[in-house]
Structure 1
């Protein structure tokens, strides 16, 4: 009779691969705290990214593999995750209360970048992460509307930093909270860049695993400020399949590459349209554009979203798809995308996140 050992358990689990990293759980160091008591085996699987959506599936795989070992009578599996802070490429100081900053960008407007940002933030939260959103579109802030929090104003914390506004469990800050809907931001570039830095560093972010920055379109002042002065750990590019959008999306990829910010992948919006009357599927804006960009720049097509009326309606109503229809196919696509880029980020290497104390005035 073969004795039941920790090595035998690890050997059995070496055949199970992480669904997003392609490596086995043992090689990734995800198998921890193996306890053997007679015929009972208890163990923990600790991933580097939030994964509530695959928790049950992975638990069943691990249970089945261990249960087949000779001498095993009972198996207890605990699936969890520990999200580490990653080192930004520009060596800027970490933002207090924030482990990882992800820039969500596009080369041009109208491709659904803000809708994607909000749904990905909500998807990460649904997967088990603490998440925030910084609305960096100073001229046209839309995050307050999409998170359904209206015209709230942030409170001032003890050491004179703003408390983020929370919607659906996601922390957020936006110029939309600081001015009225009728107030135009008639600012030159340096003022806009300064506002971005203030909102980032003078907000009391509360233990975030991920802060998603909803970038304005283009490659101008805000993008340059972000690259030079903000500790960005990764970026996600949003595009549509049409050639004009792809041309501008490529510029966005090139910008991040030039400043050494990793591009974690591409999200393709409006990939297909399915007729609500007859069910016919059609590629209205072209086909395969996001995949081509991903291949050209050695990154990943994280996922494709359809041209679907509900995505727009839900966002406009302040109940994005991930919370309005959490079990629907669109929400599941966003959650799959979130797991993919979070998994990519977790293999970049972790550091201790420390940052300076921030003080601001009331005005």
Structure 2
């Protein structure tokens, strides 16, 4: 009874804070549980500013342990999808950081899937810096059906339907504010005559800004592929991207590490100029099993600059073509699997002080202490050696989960009573522990 009263009092205090900030209309829902605050905010042009105001103000409330702000579900998905209604799967390719070769990967992924016999389209969602007109050498102009001037016919290149703002503007520089860019992107996407497609590859702009959030909210995106490079800075941005897709209920199914290595032309040895990278950490920490390396190769940039994707130019037996075939096959299978995956049911029972995990009608119990000491986050495990950064005796025997929530279709996040907040347990790890 006391806990219920305390929760009501805490929720009221957060609501009053939101009211003082004049953000009542921007907030959909407030939830409080044992010092952990969850706020669901509407996505509009002031979203980032409003979010920052709330986070700055909540620091002054002493009982708040943690605050998570998420984007409220959009109503757009229930509305008319225009010419997208015939698209079966939308796969977002994101980088969260510029200059990692995201667009090149997206284009070659699209053509690789098409070579497997599927109907494919690719949409270049970068209004400020469209890449598709450079990556495919196509000089034709866009046209509209005679009886429907609002509809745009996509360019068809090697059997793949392609659309980019660069085709509309003839690559003239775009100078727009954020809300206009979001609206322009949606119009171009919805008005393009995609017809029936098995896969639409969405080449998103770099970063995790309003356009990316809007696209994920507005569209029924099936899955996401993140492109990165081996540097730590890129890895940090990958984490931001995965978290963004998690918040928007889009499963991240693969990570492509571009410029991973090169083979010396003289000694034929493999060299890694940027180090080993962080693929193993992504697999351990997030349970993302599909991780790929793309080498540095002169043909990669040469043919891309010529507007001739390497997947269509190099021989079928070349390493890059074979690697992209594997990536394409895995993206298809993982996208299908995500649609049919049933997440395990997980909860904590304070009566017997055990974590209950139900896999396919079979429930097993895991000790909270065992689960806590099995954490593979960067704060618990060294990124390269794999050694533990803590001693088991440092963890209280009576540790218990304060909060548990799903992360996409691959893991569950746990906040612990000892203050540890970055634990993430892939479903595969839970099965092993069970």
The alignment's TM-score, normalised by the length of structure 1, stands at 0.69
1:230 to 219, 237, 241: 219
The alignment status of 1:145 with 2:134, answered yes or no, reads: yes
Whether the aligned pair in 2 keeps the contact of 1:97 and 1:208 (CA below 8 Å) is: yes
1:156 to 113, 135, 144: 144
Describe how 1:182-193 pairs up with structure 2 within 5 A. 183-193=172-182
The secondary structure found in structure 2 opposite 1:111 is: coil
2:336 to 325, 343, 346: 346
Take 1:303 and 1:108, find their aligned partners in 2: how far apart are those partners? 18
2:228 to 226, 239, 243: 239
Take 1:204 and 1:291, find their aligned partners in 2: how far apart are those partners? 41
Asked which structure has the greater RCO (Cα within 8 Å, sep 6+), the reply is 1
Consecutive aligned runs of 4 or more in structure 1 exceeding 4 Å deviation? none
Take 2:132 and 2:314, find their aligned partners in 1: how far apart are those partners? 19
Residue of structure 2 in register with 1:166 after alignment:
156
Take 1:90 and 1:272, find their aligned partners in 2: how far apart are those partners? 41
- Over residues 15-48 of structure 1, what are the superposed CA-to-partner deviations in whole Å (9 max), with x where a residue is unaligned? xxxxxxxxxxxxxxxxxxxxxxxxxxxxxxxxxx
The alignment status of 1:134 with 2:123, answered yes or no, reads: yes
Take 1:112 and 1:90, find their aligned partners in 2: how far apart are those partners? 30
Note the residue ranges of structure 1 that are not aligned, 5 or more in a row. Answer: 1-88, 351-363
Take 1:161 and 1:120, find their aligned partners in 2: how far apart are those partners? 26
Whether the aligned pair in 1 keeps the contact of 2:294 and 2:320 (CA below 8 Å) is: yes
The secondary structure found in structure 2 opposite 1:313 is: helix
The secondary structure found in structure 2 opposite 1:237 is: strand
Note the residue ranges of structure 2 that are not aligned, 5 or more in a row. Answer: 1-72, 341-434
Describe how 1:268-287 pairs up with structure 2 within 5 A. 268-287=257-276
Take 1:99 and 1:326, find their aligned partners in 2: how far apart are those partners? 30
How far did 1:267 drift?
0.8
Whether the aligned pair in 2 keeps the contact of 1:90 and 1:231 (CA below 8 Å) is: no
1:102 to 91, 108, 117: 91
Take 1:184 and 1:315, find their aligned partners in 2: how far apart are those partners? 21
How far did 1:164 drift?
0.5
- Over residues 172-230 of structure 1, what are the superposed CA-to-partner deviations in whole Å (9 max), with x where a residue is unaligned? 1101101123x210001001101111111100002110000111110101111112111
Over the residues paired in the alignment, what is the CA RMSD in angstroms?
1.6
Take 1:141 and 1:226, find their aligned partners in 2: how far apart are those partners? 16
Take 1:272 and 1:286, find their aligned partners in 2: how far apart are those partners? 9
Take 1:348 and 1:282, find their aligned partners in 2: how far apart are those partners? 35
Between the two proteins, the alignment pairs up a number of residues equal to 260
Take 1:103 and 1:111, find their aligned partners in 2: how far apart are those partners? 16
The secondary structure found in structure 1 opposite 2:169 is: coil
1:201 to 168, 190, 193: 190
Describe how 1:278-317 pairs up with structure 2 within 5 A. 278-317=267-306
Take 2:283 and 2:161, find their aligned partners in 1: how far apart are those partners? 30
Whether the aligned pair in 2 keeps the contact of 1:239 and 1:245 (CA below 8 Å) is: yes
How far did 1:349 drift?
3.2
Take 2:280 and 2:130, find their aligned partners in 1: how far apart are those partners? 29
Residue of structure 1 in register with 2:12 after alignment:
none
- Residues 184 and 324 of structure 1, relative CA distance in 2, 3 Å threshold: same
- Over residues 261-314 of structure 1, what are the superposed CA-to-partner deviations in whole Å (9 max), with x where a residue is unaligned? 011111111111111222121111121423322332121234211011111111
The alignment status of 1:332 with 2:319, answered yes or no, reads: no
Take 1:206 and 1:269, find their aligned partners in 2: how far apart are those partners? 32
The secondary structure found in structure 2 opposite 1:178 is: helix
How far did 1:236 drift?
0.4
How far did 1:90 drift?
6.5
- Who wins on radius of gyration, i.e. which is larger? 2
Take 1:208 and 1:176, find their aligned partners in 2: how far apart are those partners? 22
1:214 to 203, 212, 234: 203
Take 2:332 and 2:74, find their aligned partners in 1: how far apart are those partners? 20
Take 1:196 and 1:186, find their aligned partners in 2: how far apart are those partners? 14
